[in-house]
Amino acid sequence: MTNKSSCLVSAIFSVLLVQLLFSPSSSLQPLAFDDSSVYETFLQCLESYLSPHDQISNLVFTSTNSSYTSVLQAYKRNARFNSDLKPLIIVTPTSIPHVQYAVLCTRRIGYRLRIRSGGHDFEGLSYVSDSPFFLIDMSNLRSIEVNIETNSAWVQSGAILGEVYYAIWEKSKVHGFPAGVCPTVAVGGHFSGGGYGNMMRKFGLSVDHIVDAQIVDANGDLLDRKSMGEGLFWAIRGGGGASFGIVISYKIELVEVPETVTVFQVESNPDEGLADFVYRWQVVAPTTSNDLFMRLHFSHPITTQLEVSIQALYLGKADDVVSLLSKDFPELGLKRQDCTEMSWIESVLWYASLNYRSSPKVLLDSDTNSAKRKSDFVVNPVSREGLGDILKRVAGQLQFSMAFSPHGGEMSEIPASSSPFPHRAGNLYKIEYVGNWNEAGEKAERAVMTQLRRMYSFMAPLVSKNPRRAYLNYRDLDIGKMSHGKGYRSYEEGKVYGMKYFHGNFDRLVKVKTEVDPANFFRDEQSIPTLPMKL
């Protein structure tokens, strides 16, 4: 046998051994303990690692602890999942070693692990499960270190975007970062899923500005970009960090923003040809100046008729954007009085529907409601007739809205393979199907879900195909999920949703997953699967 063949057999044997030890039928799966026994076993394991100075009672919570409910609810942003199976144990690390020890001890006693940064997962996969599990809550790991001299910042996963923006603003009024418009979303999920934002046509996504990271892998090792290797570093910038380990922090590259930016919101007159108006937006928004981001929004508030509006950010002065759109989009009829000039940090407040004249400290607040999202990408212009049909469908619904976010600009310049996020050149815009509700109970949820799914089905002929694509951060179990009975390991099941989220990057993600977590310790209903073994 050659050395090469010997190495191959050895590698296959090692992977098989690991999969045997940690497979769903393994003896290292949850033992028949009651909750108190599990807790005691976990504590004993942690104590073997922790120093006497660590206060375990402040780090680990079970349902018998008086603080358990408040800790669980603190970052449970989606009220849809308040009645679901709750974690047996919640770990709230305050240091990186705490994360490492929690991974080792969870794995040692054979339980599943969920990782929660900000709790905005639209399917609750960061804090609910259909089988017993432990939860690591990263909310205490939220430090932000901004270095204007190097145009960079280290940001921990538990920090929310509002805190990131605020920290940058405290150091510089002409620096920013391209990320989401919801200030309460945490870095851990947002960055690892791609990181959409209203400066993406100018600068790309959040992941396009990540230059280093720290992650704790399934062996409890802390790795940076150099030690994790370029494969894993590539994977956690858009492929969903929770499939590969626990991302502790990201090093981001800041971008320069002008001292003055301009925002405007213009509503279309429903009596003046909405379909024609939307068609013109579809032509202009992905092709106009990279400095301009115009999001189109459809909604039907209960008390009014259908509303079609454009919400925009222009990285420059008002006179310039008015002049630009008088040529590119005269149908919009934008006037100087429609525009408001402000600083970039004020635009963050404005886009989040906050009072932009208030202190940026409001970015540090949080929110909770019930929510569901679905997504699509449009690669060919929708006809006027098709847009008219969409408007008629939305006008008949009261429970949801739609938002169209234009691509083009820098999004078309960055190769689809540069990160796991594949929706680059060739995509005109992303569609977000938005369902939010505050009423409790299954009836309210069912009403929203039904309308969202019907609209999604109706849109099938008008959007991307083979596969119909989706955005990972609008997590959607309707498009496919792993079976618990197969240990969340099936490559074929994973490929169903994986191709929709990652398209041509899916198999590369599977390869990385197989290399760094062959036992599939980090897994959920839509995680990246490992490669099936072939002997």
Establish whether 250 is a catalytic residue. Answer: no
The C-alpha atoms of residue 409 and residue 30 are separated, in whole angstroms, by 50
Q: Give DSSP secondary structure letters for 358-412.
A: S-GGGGG----BEEEEEEEEE-SPPPHHHHHHHHHHHHT-SS-EEEEEE--GGGG
The C-alpha atoms of residue 118 and residue 78 are separated, in whole angstroms, by 10
Beta bridge partners of 222: 216
Question: Contact, 472 vs 205, CB < 8 A?
Answer: no
Residue entry with tokens 């603190």? 74
Beta bridge partners of 261: 342
**Strand 112-116 to 133-137 pairing:** parallel
How far from 394 is each of 25, 297, 375, CA to CA, in Å? 48, 11, 15
Beta bridge partners of 144: 155
The C-alpha atoms of residue 521 and residue 527 are separated, in whole angstroms, by 11
The C-alpha atoms of residue 110 and residue 273 are separated, in whole angstroms, by 61
Strand runs (DSSP E) across 359-507, as ranges? 370-378, 401-406, 429-437
**Strand 112-116 to 175-176 pairing:** unpaired
Determine which one of 127, 474, 497, 501 is catalytic.
Answer: 474
The C-alpha atoms of residue 191 and residue 212 are separated, in whole angstroms, by 12
Question: Contact, 423 vs 471, CB < 8 A?
Answer: yes
The C-alpha atoms of residue 264 and residue 278 are separated, in whole angstroms, by 17
Catalytic center residues: 474
